[in-house]
Amino acid sequence: EFRAEGRQFDLIVLDPPKFAPSAQHIDRAARAYKEINLVGMQLLRPGGLLFTYSCSGAISMELFQKIVAGAATDARSDARILRRLSAGTDHPMSAAFPEGEYLKGLLLEKV
């Protein structure tokens, strides 16, 4: 609806639910993350900031970054990663359970 109206925003936060509850859902989740980030980039003004997150343990930070970069490319936008984000120090992770590092995010600026 906002795209049809030509609306744009200075700040967008994308914090969807877990799209990949397990590794077998990675492809579906990647498509969903790409779609919402594509829309986010289309609605973001140049110079605007996008906070985008994933809480899917099956999606690595590396894959998430590739998905978001692909969404920016498909939106014909250039974006700079200003910061990689993760859970705070009050959210410790077990050394025996690396999947506990499920929360990841990126702060991007649309150039």
Tell me if residue 55 is catalytic: yes
Which of 36, 55, 69, 107 does the annotation list as catalytic? 55
Whether 43 and 4 have beta carbons less than 8 Å apart is answered as: no
Two tokens at 102?
Answer: 């499920």
In sequence order, which ranges of the chain are alpha helices (DSSP H)? 2-5, 26-43, 61-74
Q: Which residues are catalytic?
A: 55
